[in-house]
Amino acid sequence: MEWDLINKQTDQYLDTINASFAIRELETKFQSAINDTDFKNVKAQKQIRDLMGDQLSYLKSKEKLTQYDVDRAEKLLEIEQARIALEEAQSSKTSMQLKRDAQGNYSYEYVADQ
C-alpha cells in the first residue's frame, strides 16, 4: 500500500526530459501566438511576450513540475488571446457615418462602433 502511494505521488510530477519537452512545446505555442497576431497590433504582441516570459520563468524555476502547471500556462495563453480578440472586436470600425468636410462635400467614413 505504501509502495502504491509512493508511485502515485511520483507519477504526478514530470521527469526532467518530459518537463523540458513540455516547456519547449509551450514556448513554441507562445511564439506562434505572437506571430499570428496582427503585425500592426504591437501592444498585443507585447502582452503575449510578457505573459510568455512570466510563465516560462515560473515553470523553469519550479523544482517539481506537474502537467497541471503546464496546462495552466496554456490556459492563460488562451485567455490572453481571447481578451485580445475581444479588444480588437470592440475597437473595430464597422459603422459608417456621413461626414461633411471643410469644403461642404459629404462622404462616408468608417467609425468605431459605439
Q: State pLDDT tens for residues 97-108.
A: 778 888 888 887
What pLDDT was estimated at residue 114?
55
**Residue pointed to by grid coordinates 496582427:** 38
Residues 6+ apart with CB under 8 A from 88: 38, 41, 44
What pLDDT was estimated at residue 94?
67
What pLDDT was estimated at residue 12?
77
CB contact at 8 A, 33 and 79: no
CA distance linking residue 35 with residue 83, whole number of Å: 17
CA distance linking residue 17 with residue 34, whole number of Å: 26
Q: What are the grid coordinates assigned to 79, written together?
A: 485567455
- Which residue numbers in the chain have pLDDT < 70? 93-94, 112-114
What pLDDT was estimated at residue 112?
65
pTM: 0.72
What pLDDT was estimated at residue 113?
57
> Domain limits of the chain?
2-111
